[in-house]
Amino acid sequence: MIKVCWISNAPSPYKVAFMNELGKQVELTCLFEMHAEKDRNASWYDYDALNFNAIYLDDGDGRKHINHCAKECDVLINSDYSKPACRFAVRAFHQQQKKTILHADGGLVKERGLFDKIISHVMRRNDAFMSSGKEVNRYFEYYGVKPELIHNYRFASTNQMGMEENYQLHQNQELYRNELQMKEETVLLSIGSPIPRKGFDILVRAMKDIPSHVGLYIIGGEPQKEVAAYVQDNALTNIHFLPFFDWEMLKKYYAAADLFVLPTRYDIWGLVINEAMSFGLPFISTDHCVAAKEFVGKDECGKIVPIEDVNALKEAIEGLVSDPNKRKEMGEKGYQIIRDYTYENMVEDFVKILNSVVGN
C-alpha cells in the first residue's frame, strides 16, 4: 500500500467518511489543522477515524508530526497552499525527495493584483494537482499551473448505497411532507449556516410576492436579525427557519422538497448541491457556487443566477415553481449525473492519481 499523508483543515463528516473509504486502499495519516472551525456547529464534525490515523495539529507538536510523516510516508496531499503548516509540510516532503500534491475540492478565480504572483509562486511549489472539475482546473491554470499536471476526480458526498437510498426516499415525497407537517403545495429548501456569505438575505427578498402556497424552509440555525426582521415586516408566513439537523432529519426535508435553492455569495464547491441532486431535486444557485457551475455545464439540471441579483433569483424561482414537469425533468437529469459521484468512484480516482504521481 502507498503511505499517504494528507494535511487538511478540520474533520467534516464528508471528508472523514471519504477518508475511511480511502484508508481501505492506502495507508493514510491525516493531519487535521484543527478540531473545528469557529463558524460551524460543533456537533456537525465527525471524529470517527476508523480506517486512517487522525492527528490534530492544534494539540501541539505540529512540526514534529509533519517531519515524522515526511520520513514515513510516500506522498503528501496538501489541501491548503497558504497555511504555514501546509507550506512547512511541502518543504519537509521535498527535503525527503518525495512528491507533494496540492488538492482542491473547489476554487473560484478572483483577481488580486500583485498578490496573485505570490499565490502562484507558493502554489506551484507542489509537484501535482488534484481538481474536482473544470472550474477548479481554470482556477489552477489562472495561477500558472500546467494543465498536464492537473488530475481530475469526482467529488462525492455519499457512497453508492446512500445515493440509491436518497433517490428512493424522494419517491415517497408525500409521506415525508405529512410527517413534517408541510402545508404548502410547493416546497423550496435551502440549507446552510446563517451567515452573510450564504445569501439568505437575498433569498427572503426574492420570496416577496411569491404566492403563499409556495413554502421556503431554511435549515441551519437562527437567522440573522436583519433577515428575520425582513420576513416579519413583510408578513412572509410561508418562510420557515429551522435549526441545524443531523443527517437523518435532513434526509426527510430533502425527500419532501420540490426545489433546492442555494443563494450563496461564495462557495468554493457547495456539497449541498450534490446532496440535492442525489434526491432527484433540481436546484437554483449563483455564479459563485462551483458545484452549480460544474454540474449545470454537464446538462440542464439546475439554474444559475448572478450573485446579489434578487430579481434574477425571483424569476428563476417563479419559473420552476410554475412548471412541475420542468422540475422533474431537471431533477432526473441531475440524478443521472450525480449517481457517478460516489465515495467508491472518488477512491478509485484518488488511487489512480496517487499511483501516477508516486510512480507505481
Q: Find where cell 402545508 sits.
A: 183
Give the 3-state DSSP-derived string for 269-296, with helices as H, strands as E and coil as C.
Answer: CCHHHHHHHHCCCCEEEECCEHHHHHHH
Query: What per-residue confidence (pLDDT) applies to 360?
Result: 65
At 359, list the grid cell: 510512480
Q: For residue 359, what pLDDT is reported?
A: 85
What's the CA gap between 127 and 94, in Å, rounded?
A: 10
Confidence of residue 248 (pLDDT cuts 50, 70, 90): very high
- DSSP 8-state code for residue 81: S
pLDDT for position 109:
84
pLDDT confidence of 115, banded at 50, 70, 90?
Answer: confident
Q: What is the pLDDT of residue 351?
A: 97
Assign domain 3-156+342-358 one CATH number from 1.20.1300.10, 3.40.50.2000, 3.90.930.60, 2.40.10.340: 3.40.50.2000
- Whole-number mean pLDDT of the chain? 95
- At 114, the pLDDT band (50, 70, 90 cuts) reads confident
Cell 495539529: give the residue.
57
122: its cell numbers: 507558493
- As given in the structure block, the three cell numbers for residue 233 are 415586516
The rounded percent of the chain whose pLDDT value lies above 70 is 99
Domain 160-338, second-level architecture: 3-Layer(aba) Sandwich (3.40)
Which of 158-162, 206-210, 229-233, 297-301 comes out lowest in average pLDDT?
297-301
Summarize pLDDT for 167-196 with one digit per residue, the tens. 999 999 999 999 999 999 999 999 999 999
Indicate the domain borders of the chain: 3-156+342-358, 160-338
Q: Look up residue 189 and give its amino acid.
A: L
Tens of pLDDT, residue by residue over 54-113, are 999 998 899 999 999 999 999 999 998 888 999 999 999 999 999 999 999 998 888 888
